Chains A and B, each alone.
Chain A
Amino acid sequence: MELNILLFGITKDIVGQQKLRYELPEGATVPDLVAHLKKSYPKLHDLNSVMIAVNNEYGQEDQTLHESDEVALIPPVSGG
Chain B
Amino acid sequence: MAPLEQEPAVEVARPATPRRRGGRRRKTLGDWAVLGVAVLIGLLIAVPFFMILVNSFKSPTDYANTGPLSLPSELYFDGLVAFWERVDFPEKLWNSFYISGIVAIGAVLISMLNAFALGIGRVKGRTWIVVIILLANMLPQEVLLYPLYFMFKQVGLYDNQWAVIIIFVVIQSAFGTYLLASVYGTFPKEILEAASLDGANRWTILWRVVFPITRPTLSVLIIFFFIWTWNEFLIPLTFLVSNANQTVPVAVAVLQGDRLMDVTTTSASALLGLIPTLIFFLIFQRTLTRGITAGAVK
Co-assembled chains A and B: no
